[in-house]
């Protein structure tokens, strides 16, 4: 692909931010504005049809989120989007829901597009739960294109009480230590999902989002 074609695709990219009635959506929209991208909310099933790159940010309980997505008829379009391997960025809950299940809500199935389960941090040795604040992220060289221009390691902002225990280490984008070493993100050809909040991680977070938009636009 020529540089001109790549720039055209990126410029015309239709960014959609999934709105399931919770989460810090305004800060995510503002983050895209800060990197020169306009994003709109995806609030109904038809909105998926006019979206090129889907961003799923989220805060809240695993089970409640699944229920709300189903009530709003967003669950099946979301599953179809991922099954079709369309461009996707997941943040926090938008990362955890990719997995099969969570200890937060036993008996509730996740999207199941990533092998593994979501575990609860154990309050041992003075470990505070939730894991909140800045922590070190060590990037995988296997997926270096996603974090190009960022330091390795980098410090990014977390807020969570549960973490994914992934089954495919080759998908690990980065790792973080908090009582246990866990995959703080995964990456595939058309998917990047992270446990930390890029929109709250200042310049480094914005750089990661900018990288993601350019990479995924080129892979449409």
The catalytic residue among 92, 105, 131, 171 is: 92
According to DSSP, the β-strands at 181-188 and 172-177 are antiparallel
Report the SS3 class of residue 111: coil
Instruction: Let me know the angle formed at the C-alpha of 135 by 131 and 138, rounded to the nearest 5 degrees.
Output: 125
Short-list 139, 135, 119, 131, CA closest to 192: 139
DSSP bridge pairs for 157: 134
Helix axes 202-218, 3-12, angle to 10 degrees: 110
197 is catalytic: yes
The catalytic residue among 131, 143, 160, 197 is: 197
CA-CA distance, 168 to 176, in Å (whole number)?
A: 16
199 is catalytic: yes
The catalytic residue among 105, 131, 143, 199 is: 199
According to DSSP, the β-strands at 88-92 and 39-42 are unpaired
Q: Around 102, how many Cα atoms within 13 Å sit in the side-chain half-sphere?
A: 25
103 is catalytic: no
Instruction: Report whether 81 contacts 54 (CB < 8 A).
Output: yes
Residues identified as active-site: 92, 197, 199
């Amino acid at each position: 692909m020529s540089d001109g074609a790549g720039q055209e695709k990126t410029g015309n990219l239709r960014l959609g931010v999934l709105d399931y009635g919770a989460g810090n959506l305004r800060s995510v929209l503002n983050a895209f504005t800060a990197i020169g991208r306009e994003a709109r909310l995806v609030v109904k099933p038809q909105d998926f049809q006019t979206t090129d790159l889907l961003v799923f940010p989220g805060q809240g309980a695993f089970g409640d989120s699944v229920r709300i997505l189903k009530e709003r008829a967003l669950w099946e379009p979301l599953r179809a989007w991922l099954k079709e391997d369309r461009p996707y960025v997941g943040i926090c809950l938008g990362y955890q829901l990719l997995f099969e299940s969570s200890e937060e809500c036993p008996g509730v199935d996740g999207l199941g597009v990533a092998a593994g389960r979501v575990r609860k941090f154990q309050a041992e040795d003075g470990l505070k739960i939730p894991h909140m604040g800045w922590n070190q992220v060590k990037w995988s060289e296997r997926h270096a294109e996603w974090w190009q221009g960022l330091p390795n390691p980098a410090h990014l902002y977390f807020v969570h009480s549960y973490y994914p225990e992934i089954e495919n280490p080759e998908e690990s984008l980065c790792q973080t230590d908090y009582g246990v070493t866990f995959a703080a993100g995964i990456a595939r050809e058309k998917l990047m999902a992270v446990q930390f909040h890029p929109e709250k991680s200042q310049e480094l977070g914005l750089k990661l989002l900018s990288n993601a938009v350019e990479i995924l636009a080129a892979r449409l």
